[in-house]
Amino acid sequence: MEYIDHHCHMTSRTTDDYEQMALTGCRVLTEPAFWAGYDRGSVQAFAAYFEALTDFEPKRAAKYGIQHYTWLSLNPKEADDRALAADVLPLIPQYLDRPNVLGIGEIGLNRVTRNEVATFEDQVDLAIRNDHLPIMIHTPHLEDKLKGTRVILDSLASERRVRPERVLVDHAEEHTLPAIKDGGYWAGLTLYPQTKVSPQRAVDMIEVFGTERILVASACDWGPSVPFAVAHVIREMRRRGHPDSMIHRLVWENPCEFLGQSPRFQVPGRAHASLAV
């Protein structure tokens, strides 16, 4: 079955990962800007990164028949540095007209500091001022997830210009997903082998909350992760007897609906099935 992975950090992956994703049915992926495993510290470093996301990675993905889109931002782990934010945020609009740029992301919180909240709100404003671009949001991991998600949702609720249907709140879990959906936002489930959500937990949540406004993604990066984790969800749902129509809704129709709010998102040949998983 073909699928779309809305959250992959392919800059940190090898070309073998692209090949495995293609073999398991990935046709389209989107890559949000993120932390590189170290603090970049200069606007020049971010400019080089944005160039790679908008030029090199689309070409690399195309070699494996995968369409590559990206999001641009100052990521949450470096957002506490307000001086850096003042330099990097004016750089982002220079890249927003690139053909594979969908919106602003991933923005959000890491340690839930006042500076992080201020940078988050600056980037929400940036998205709104640029034709209400779609927004992808990172929620903190582990013990700060509930607190951070609440702070993010409160901030969004206070900004009357935000269109909830154009916002994806990622890294949702059982204790945050209901509030995200109740706010009218899209919720993303991040699939990791050791942390975050396993494919089994993701399917458990889907069985409880349904497929409406829910996306699943590998969010693969430089740490232990599985770039074709969406295929594991497809297999788990089939193992539990869920119909292919429901699975297709989750891994293809839902991302098409959310990502399609950007006029740049064009999916070649919306076939329903191809490679078996």
Per-residue pLDDT at 268:
65
Q: What is the pLDDT of residues 225-269, one digit of tens each?
A: 999 999 999 999 999 999 999 999 999 999 999 999 999 999 865
Structure tokens given for 276: 């078996």
Nearest partner of 79 among 118, 133, 125, judged by Cα? 118
Q: Are 110 and 139 in contact (CB under 8 A)?
A: no
Percentage with pLDDT > 70 across the chain: 96
Give me the half-sphere count of Cα atoms (radius 13 Å) on the Cβ side of residue 197: 30
Per-residue pLDDT at 183:
98
Q: Are 160 and 128 in contact (CB under 8 A)?
A: no
Q: Are 123 and 74 in contact (CB under 8 A)?
A: yes
Give me the half-sphere count of Cα atoms (radius 13 Å) on the Cβ side of residue 34: 21
Query: Residue 277 above 70 pLDDT?
Result: no
Per-residue pLDDT at 269:
59
Q: Are strands 101-108 and 186-190 parallel, antiparallel or unpaired?
A: unpaired
Structure tokens given for 5: 């992975």
Query: Residue 35 above 50 pLDDT?
Result: yes
Q: What is the pLDDT of residues 66-98, one digit of tens each?
A: 999 999 999 999 999 999 999 999 999 999 999
Buried b (16+ CB within 10 A) or exposed e, 130-169: eeebbbbbbbbeeeebeebbebbbebbeeeeebeeebbbb
- 276 — pLDDT class (breaks 50, 70, 90): very low
Query: Residue 153 above 70 pLDDT?
Result: yes
What are the angstrom distances between the C-alpha of 169 and each of 63, 109, 273? Answer: 30, 11, 28
- Please state the pTM of the whole predicted model: 0.94
Per-residue pLDDT at 200:
96
Q: Which amino acid is at 126?
A: L
